[in-house]
Structure formats: C-alpha cells, structure tokens
C-alpha cells in the first residue's frame, strides 16, 4: 500500500492535481466548516424533498434517515480534534457517504422507482442536482486536503518560514 | 427578426475596453503577487503565519535569507510579463488600472445620465426570491425566464449589480490601501480594511471573485446563445448572429494580440516599457500622491517582533571591520552640488540635531509589511547644513552594498544606490535613521545609517549608506534610471504606490 501511494505521489497526474505545489492554503477551520456544511447540505436537501413532496414511500424515509444521520454524524466528527485520527477518518467516511449518495442518485436517474415518480427517473430535479453538487464539492475539498493544497482541523500547514 | 436590447454604443465600447483592461490588470496583478507569493492577515507578515502561499520554495532554517529569495518566477502565460519582472508588472498594472478607472468613470457617468443604471440596479427586494428561483431553475438544467422587459434574469441582474457597484469599487479601494503614501497619510483608512495585509488579502480575494465572475459570465453567454448575446454587445441588437460570432472572436483575438504584444515588448525591451508606461502613470501619481505627508505613529505594542528585510548586508572585509568596532571608523561624506560639503562620523551626525522617533509601517515593493520604530536625524537638518546649490534637484544615497558580492540572487550587480527628489527631504518623517526599536540600527536593517521616507515604497530607503550627493541629473549614474532597482528591475523612480 505504501509503495502504491509513493508511486502515485510521483505520478504526473498527482503533480497536476496538486497544481505542482504552487497553491496552498492554511485555513484548517474554514476548510472544516466547508466540509461540514457540504455534508449538512446533503442531509438538508433530502429533508427538503421529504417535506415538500407528497406521498413518498417509507423506503425513502428510511433512506433519508440513514443518509442524514451519516452526514450529520460525519460532519460532527470533523470537529473532534482531541484525537486527530477521528476527523481524518471522518473525511474518508464523508467521501463514502457522498459517493454512495451519488451512486444511488445517478442510478435512480435511469429508472423510475415505484412510489417515487416525483424524485426519480428525471434529471431536472433541482434538490437532486443541489445534493449532487454538494457531494462532489465535499469530495473535491477532501481531495484538496489529501493533495496538500488545503489542510483540515486540527492539522496546520508545516510552514516555519 | 431583430430584437432590440437597447445597448447603446458607449456601453458596448466600454464593455470591450473593460475586457481588455481587466485582463491586463489580472495578469500584471499575478506578476506582482509572484514577488512575494504569500498572503497574511497580520501587518507583521510574520514568516509562517500566511494563510495562502503560491510558491514551492521552502526557505532555509540555518542561514540568513531575505524576501528577495522568496520571489517566484511565473510563466508569461499567466502573468504579465512573467519571469519575475516585478517592475514591469507594476507599470502594466498601474497603467491598466488608470485605463480601467477612466473607462469605469465614463461608464458610471453615462449609466446614470442615460438611465441605463436601471438595467443593473435591483430596485426591489423581490429580486432576491426571484434570483433564488432562477438558481433552482438552473439546477433543473433549464434557463429561467428573463425579467419583464429586461435582457437579464434576476440572478444575472444581481450578479452584475454586485460586480459593477460592489466588486469593482472594492478592488479600487483595497488597491489604494496598498499605496505607502495613502497608508502613511491615512492610517485609519487602511485600518478600515483590518490593516495593510488584510487589504492585500482582500484585494486577492476580489481578484478570485472577478475570475469566478468571468468564468460564469462566459458560461452564461455560451448557454444563452453566443451569437445572440455577442450580437447584442456588438450591434446593439440581435441580428446577423453569424457575423456577431465571427466579430466577437475577432475582438477576443485582438485582445489576446494586445497581451502578446505587451508581453513581448516587456521581455525584449523592458527599459522602453519602463520609460513609456511610467510617464503615463506619473501624470496621475504625482498630483494625487506626492502632496501626501506621513502621519503615522503606531502604538508600541504594534511593533513587529521580527521586522522583515529585503537585501543582504555588505560582506566586505572593510564593512565587517567597521561593524566589529561599532562603526567608529565609518564616515558619511556629503557633497555634490552644495555650498558646504561635510564628512561626518556617527557622533557628528547625532550632534546635528535632536533625534526624531517614529513608529511606522514599512511597505515593501514586494507587498509585505512590518512595523518598526526608527530614530535618527531629519534629513532636512543635513540639507540645511550643507546648503544645496539652486541647481540641485535630487539626493543620491550611495551604499556599501555591492550586489555582485552581497546579493548574488538579485537581478544585477554593482553598487546599490537610490535617487530621490530633493523636496522629499523636507517631508515629515523623512529621516536618516541610526536607531531601530530604541537600539543602534542592526546590521541587517542598514547599520550604521539608512534612509526612511515613509510615503515611498521600501526600496527607496537605502541601507548601509556612506555617501550622499546632491545632484541635478541622474542620467549618468548607473544605468541612468534613478536607482539600482530602477536600473536593474525597472521600477519607477517615484514610488508613492
């Protein structure tokens, strides 16, 4: 695994993604607020759908409850700085939640699920687009942290000069 | 069919001129950023405290480095002219800003005298829910309806209002806050933004906002119909959309050509760029900024613990011997076009007058700042002692620094010197400093003597001075541009901004 990571860090794509090391920010709290807000936004978009669309099936309630709980718990974990490993793992869980949501959302664009005519089978569904943008945003923010462009709480950039 | 959008000719001309000037400002601004590619929220510019950096350089822990070592060399593709040419970048930035402000003024005047401002000014609070509805519509991958009788939807109208009445003035105000003359005369104005480095950081965030706006603006034009909208912005109405598309690409090509020409001219003949552009900038700079006098007096608690420094001390044996003996052997020779040439040692210099003390902000040309307390003799006391002849117009400060030997990473070699107008000697807080923070001037800050001219950018305040000449012409000194940095990095001689 270490060898794979080392090889990845030597690759051109890695250099390109991290903008060749020319851009870096030391805004750990801002980045963490951003990450937590994006996850909370995904949960909020689902709650909005739940409250604004009539007659949604129980399965969507269950899905929203699980997804919302995952988003909010993960968002909260990003602030647990006493043990730095917790927020670090939290960011990866946030990625998983975002990817899972995107997979479900994209899959349900191709088919209309029974009882969910209003929210599946179509692309012109604004809350879905919004939640998708938030999920992609979260993944992008975490990617920027992994690439060293950003840093998240409780870490700081190791700048002495 | 012809749809009239009622874009008057002046608005269309201003729009395309705006594209030219904004892009020139952005590229030259990136060049300026490259020279100190770090942004702070504190006026000390404390190493390691930056919130953003745009450099790969890591400074050494075990040897002396100065801020010149931190300079980056960006590609001409993103900066104007590129290749660490701060002086030329500054000339382009200031000329483009003057052009942009003139275009902006004409735009504002015509906007308000013709009633066109209604097009962009949100007259009702209802525009906010309407704008939200537009965002929702965009998220359904559809285009929202235009406002009744207007060429924009609510979101677009809000965005234009934000840029025209908010972002553009904000950039001008935060830019002005970075002028040492403005900062020296109106310290409260800079504090209004949170400090000089806050102003610089906010100016950068404004740049990012401008780039974001440009990207979204171009996307909108593309999605709403490039031919239609460029026709409106070229012909004033939607007609001949194919011609409009071709013409819009031609205009963009012309703007790119201006950029290419500016870059090539700058890289091939920087001296002529320096002369021509600075002559333009001086027309505005001199009447606006020269009359400003420094009125700074920062509280003691604001002093920077580790004042940054630009330029390395002389490392000649002669200087080292002098330093070991606390500069007892140092002499200041003052001559040239004067009635009474003198040679002074430190005690003699101190005896010329009561020391003046000032706590002021040092504004480096690179963009960093620090706050220091300086003590020394007002330059006018020395001027009165030597009595310049009527033909004397400038003061040339010569130093013990030789850049061939002392600053190998600099843009050239030779003895460091700086020329300034004689009138600056009579300005408040213009001193020959021999103390810093209540102690003898440290070596890295110019011991035993340096100049402080608080309305000018830092490089004018020569360090390690051992000779002062009163002159009426500087064309025969160095390369004739008015100072070592003017000669080698093409800065302007007068640097109130």
Sign of torsion over alpha carbons B297, B302, B308, B314: positive
**What pLDDT does residue B5 have?**
60
Strand-pair partners of B320: none
Tens digit of each residue's pLDDT (9 = 90 or more) over B166-192: 999 999 999 999 999 999 999 999 999
Q: What is the DSSP letter of B69?
A: G
**pLDDT tier for residue A1 given thresholds of 50, 70 and 90:** confident
Query: How far is the CA of B208 from the CAs of B18, B167, B204, B205, in angstroms?
Result: 17, 11, 6, 5
**pLDDT tier for residue B237 given thresholds of 50, 70 and 90:** confident
What residues in A contact B79, CB-CB < 8 Å? none
**What pLDDT does residue A25 have?**
98
Contact A129 B47 (CB under 8 A): no
Sequence spans of domains, chain B: 3-36+71-289, 300-488
**pLDDT tier for residue B1 given thresholds of 50, 70 and 90:** very low
CA distance A126 to chain B (A): 5
Q: Which residues of B touch A (CB under 8 A)?
A: 47-48, 50-56, 58-59, 61, 65, 72, 136-137, 139-142
Please compute the mean of the pLDDT values over residues B64-71 and round it to a whole number. 86
Tens digit of each residue's pLDDT (9 = 90 or more) over B199-214: 999 999 999 999 999 9
B18 φ/ψ angles, rounded to the nearest 5 degrees: -60, -40
Sign of torsion over alpha carbons A133, A134, A136, A137: positive
B147 φ/ψ angles, rounded to the nearest 5 degrees: -65, 145
Please compute the mean of the pLDDT values over residues B114-136 and round it to a whole number. 94
Please compute the mean of the pLDDT values over residues A10-25 and round it to a whole number. 95
What is the Cα B290 distance to its own chain's centre? 16
Nearest residue in chain B measured CA to CA from A21: B56
Alpha-carbon distance of B469 to A78, in angstroms, equals: 64
Of B221, B218, B173, B215, nearest in space to B198 by CA: B173
Contact B55 A22 (CB under 8 A): yes
Contact A126 B51 (CB under 8 A): no
Q: What is the DSSP letter of B369?
A: E
**What pLDDT does residue B410 have?**
76
CA distance B200 to chain A (A): 16
Contact B50 A161 (CB under 8 A): no
Of B333, B424, B337, B336, nearest in space to B389 by CA: B337
Alpha-carbon distance of B469 to B419, in angstroms, equals: 9
Strand-pair partners of B358: B374
**What pLDDT does residue B62 have?**
82
Stated pTM of the model: 0.94
Tens digit of each residue's pLDDT (9 = 90 or more) over B380-423: 999 999 999 999 999 999 999 998 898 877 778 899 999 999 99
Asked if B140 contacts A126 with a C-beta cutoff of 8 angstroms, the reply is yes
Token couple for B493: 């001689």
What residues in A contact B155, CB-CB < 8 Å? none
**What pLDDT does residue B4 have?**
52
Q: Note the CATH architecture for domain B300-488.
A: Alpha-Beta Complex (3.90)
Query: How far is the CA of B2 from the CAs of B6, B12, B150, B224, B335, in angstroms?
Result: 11, 18, 16, 17, 76
pLDDT of B6 over the 90 cut: no
The third-level CATH classification (topology) of the domain covering B3-36+71-289 is: Fumarate Reductase Cytochrome B subunit (1.20.950)
Q: What's chain B's average pLDDT? A: 95
Alpha-carbon distance of B49 to B28, in angstroms, equals: 25
**SS3 state of residue A65:** helix
Token couple for A44: 């909020």
Contact A26 B50 (CB under 8 A): yes
Alpha-carbon distance of B182 to B176, in angstroms, equals: 7
What residues in A contact B59, CB-CB < 8 Å? 161
What is the Cα A70 distance to its own chain's centre? 11
Asked if A38 contacts A62 with a C-beta cutoff of 8 angstroms, the reply is no
Is A6 at the interface with chain B, CB within 8 A?
Answer: no
Tens digit of each residue's pLDDT (9 = 90 or more) over B254-276: 999 999 999 999 999 999 999 99
Sequence spans of domains, chain A: 36-146
Please compute the mean of the pLDDT values over residues A58-73 and round it to a whole number. 97
Q: What's chain A's average pLDDT? A: 95
Asked if B367 contacts B33 with a C-beta cutoff of 8 angstroms, the reply is yes
**What pLDDT does residue A147 have?**
96
Sign of torsion over alpha carbons B271, B277, B279, B284: negative
Q: Identify each DSSP E strand in A1-145 by its residue range.
A: 24-25
**What pLDDT does residue B17 have?**
98
A38 φ/ψ angles, rounded to the nearest 5 degrees: -65, -45
Tens digit of each residue's pLDDT (9 = 90 or more) over B465-479: 999 999 999 999 999
pLDDT of B2 over the 60 cut: no
CB burial string B391-426: b at 16+ within 10 A, e below: ebbbbbbbbbbbbeebbeebbeeebbbbbbbbebbe
Highest mean pLDDT among A78-92, A108-122, B232-246, B426-440: B426-440
Of B87, B98, B186, nearest in space to B482 by CA: B87
Alpha-carbon distance of B128 to B159, in angstroms, equals: 11
What residues in A contact B51, CB-CB < 8 Å? 25-27
């Amino acid at each position: 695994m270490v060898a794979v990571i080392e090889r990845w860090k030597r690759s051109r794509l890695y250099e390109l993604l991290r903008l060749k090391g020319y851009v870096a920010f030391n805004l750990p709290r801002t980045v963490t607020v951003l990450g937590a807000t994006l996850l909370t936004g995904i949960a909020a978009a689902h709650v909005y759908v739940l409250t604004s669309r009539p007659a949604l099936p129980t399965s969507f309630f269950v899905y929203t409850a699980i997804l919302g709980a995952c988003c909010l718990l993960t968002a909260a974990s990003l602030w647990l700085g006493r043990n730095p490993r917790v927020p670090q793992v939290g960011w990866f869980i946030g990625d998983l939640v975002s990817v899972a949501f995107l997979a479900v959302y994209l899959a349900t664009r191709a088919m209309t699920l029974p009882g969910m005519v209003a929210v599946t089978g179509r692309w012109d569904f604004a809350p879905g687009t919004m939640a998708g943008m938030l999920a992609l945003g979260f993944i992008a923010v975490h990617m920027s942290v992994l690439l060293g462009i950003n840093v998240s709480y409780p870490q700081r950039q190791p700048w002495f000069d | 069919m012809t749809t009239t959008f009622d874009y008057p000719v002046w608005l269309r001309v201003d729009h395309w001129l705006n594209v030219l000037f904004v892009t020139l400002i952005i590229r030259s601004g990136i060049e300026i950023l490259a020279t100190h590619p770090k942004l702070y929220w504190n006026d000390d510019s404390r190493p390691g405290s930056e919130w953003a950096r745009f450099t790969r350089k890591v400074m050494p822990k075990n040897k002396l480095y100065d801020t010149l070592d931190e300079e980056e060399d960006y590609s001409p593709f993103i900066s104007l002219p590129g290749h660490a040419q701060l002086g030329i970048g500054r000339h382009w930035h200031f000329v483009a800003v003057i052009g942009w402000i003139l275009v902006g003024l004409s735009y504002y005047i015509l906007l308000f005298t013709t009633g066109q401002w209604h097009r962009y000014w949100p007259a009702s609070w209802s525009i906010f829910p309407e704008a939200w509805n537009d965002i929702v519509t965009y998220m359904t991958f559809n285009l929202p309806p235009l406002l009744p009788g207007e060429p924009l939807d609510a979101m677009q109208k809000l965005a234009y209002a934000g840029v025209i009445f908010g972002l553009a003035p904000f950039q001008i105000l935060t830019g002005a806050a970075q002028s040492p003359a403005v900062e020296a005369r109106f310290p409260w104005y800079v504090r209004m933004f949170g400090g000089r480095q806050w102003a610089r950081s906010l100016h950068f965030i404004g740049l990012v906002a401008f780039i974001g706006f440009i990207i979204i603006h171009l996307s909108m034009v593309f999605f709403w119909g490039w031919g239609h909208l460029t026709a409106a912005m070229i012909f004033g109405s939607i007609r001949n959309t194919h011609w409009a598309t071709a013409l819009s690409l031609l205009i963009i090509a012309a703007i790119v050509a201006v950029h290419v020409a500016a870059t090539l001219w700058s890289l091939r003949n920087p001296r002529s760029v320096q002369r021509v552009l600075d002559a333009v900038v001086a027309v505005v700079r001199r009447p606006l900024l020269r009359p400003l006098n420094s009125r700074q007096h920062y509280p003691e608690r604001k002093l920077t613990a580790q004042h940054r420094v630009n330029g390395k001390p002389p490392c000649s044996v002669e200087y080292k011997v002098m330093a070991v003996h606390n500069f007892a052997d140092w002499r200041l020779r003052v001559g040239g076009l004067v009635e009474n040439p003198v040679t002074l040692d430190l005690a003699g210099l101190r005896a010329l007058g009561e020391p003046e003390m000032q706590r002021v902000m040092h504004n480096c040309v690179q963009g960093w700042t620090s706050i220091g307390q300086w003590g020394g003799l007002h330059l006018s006391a020395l001027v009165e002692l030597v009595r310049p002849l009527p033909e004397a117009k400038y003061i040339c400060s010569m130093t013990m620094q030789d850049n061939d030997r002392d600053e190998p990473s600099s843009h050239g070699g030779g003895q460091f010197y700086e020329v300034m107008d004689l009138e600056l000697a009579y300005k408040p807080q213009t001193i020959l400093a021999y103390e810093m923070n209540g102690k003898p001037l440290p070596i890295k800050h110019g011991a035993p003597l340096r100049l402080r001219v608080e309305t000018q950018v830092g490089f004018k305040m020569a360090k390690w001075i051992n000779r002062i000449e009163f002159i009426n012409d500087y064309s025969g000194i160095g390369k004739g541009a008015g100072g070592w940095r003017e000669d080698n990095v093409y800065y302007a001689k007068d640097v109130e901004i």
